[in-house]
Amino acid sequence: MKLFIEPNDVLMFRDGRPFAGGDDHFARGIFPPSPATIYGALRSHILSNCWSEFNKFADNSDQIPENVKKEIGTPDKLGSLALCQFTLVRKNGNGVEQIFPMPNDVVKEKGSEDGKLYMLMPFNLSSSKTITDLPAGLSNMWNPTEKPMEAASGFLSSKEMTEYLLGKSPSKRTPSDNIFVTEVRTGIQKSRKTRSVETGKLYSVEYFRLSENSGFAVEVENTKLLPPSGILRLGGDNRSAKYSTESWNEISVEPIKIKVAESKCFKLMLMTPAIFKNGWLPEGIDSNTMQGRINGIEVKMISAFVGKPIGIGGYDFVKNRPKMMKKAVPAGSVYYFELQQGDVDNLFKNLWLKSISDEKVQEGFGITLIGGFNYV
């Protein structure tokens, strides 16, 4: 089931850092939100629509109807519901278009806001005296130009993402403020007993306002109980969003398959954050040889461009306690591989829009796109 989720007003998505008025006066936000936020909202929506004893979910899991339990599980275990795609989306005259996170290996000229985009590519500097902090066996990321470069921000449309996956530098980017803007609102904590404000409890909260006709594209599987449309709570502060079934044009994989087949080299770009047991490295890859298997595909890692880790936390309202903090590789991170065995069709079957995360797979973590690349 494919859904378009559109906020009714501003939304609040907290980052993983703890916050308490008076200790840290600013509650920072994160955008796009964690896929776990979307998954939790849909899971709660199914429960509230199918079981009138919503508030007793934690204490009466044995009384949950079997069909509901099968889909959403219990407070301690997930059911069959799975989130298999999550991106930003924008409606226009041509329908619904997905918006993707900027890959980490796309850069721009330093100080230029609308300048040309460049793509870094693996380049073996082992024969030179250049010193890097990359693990042994991995190539450096390089672009043959004298111009100073810096990371490119923003997002890529489906058209530009297709260019990127075909090994070309994207022709342009979508600035963040075309999708959303931030709003900071200030408040002060009140005493529950006296109903009066408390000294030193001033705080500010960061909210996100999406532009008109912008929202989230979500694809879920293994559900029969989720209504095709409705209103759900999304994020913090009991903010709401409306959703309905929708369709969008997927990126065509055939040209990308041809590109990858030429060299048997490919890269995986994370559409959503991934949690790996070995930090930045997928569990199936040996840290000494940089070889192994990912989703059954035998590969050798050539290079990687991994972003700064982000905290994945949240609050468990059923158990009334904070969730355990996890460190995740952020969306936009890119891993480069050589295909060691198997054909390209099998590669795409196992990795295109599939999760490579070691944890929270059902919640939509670690969903990847496959692209081709050339050495410098």
Which tokens hold the place of 371? 């692209």
- Domains in the chain and their CATH numbers? 2-90+177-245 (no CATH), 95-173 (no CATH), 254-371 (2.60.40.4350)
CB 372 within 8 A of CB 339: no
The pLDDT score that the predictor gives to residue 106 is 93
Which tokens hold the place of 267? 């890269």
User: Angle 122-127-133 (CA atoms, 0-180°, nearest 5)?
Assistant: 60
The pLDDT score that the predictor gives to residue 23 is 52
The pLDDT score that the predictor gives to residue 96 is 85
- Counting DSSP H helices and E strands in the chain, the numbers are 5, 24
**Cα–Cα dist 70/78, whole Å:** 9
The pLDDT score that the predictor gives to residue 55 is 67
**Cα–Cα dist 37/14, whole Å:** 10
CB 54 within 8 A of CB 48: yes
Picking from 211, 273, 216, the residue whose alpha carbon sits closest to that of residue 248 is 216
The pLDDT score that the predictor gives to residue 116 is 85
**Cα–Cα dist 4/218, whole Å:** 6
What are the C-alpha distances in Å from 283 to residues 58, 320, 338? 33, 32, 17
| Burial (CB count within 10 angstroms: exposed 0-12, middle 13-18, buried 19+), residue 25 | middle
Picking from 156, 158, 374, 132, the residue whose alpha carbon sits closest to that of residue 267 is 374
Terminal alpha carbon distance of the chain: 41
Question: Consecutive sets of 10 residues in the chain, 376 residues long: mean pLDDT of each?
Answer: 94 71 66 92 89 69 80 86 94 86 92 82 64 74 82 92 93 91 78 66 83 93 93 89 92 94 93 94 91 94 91 74 84 94 92 95 96 82
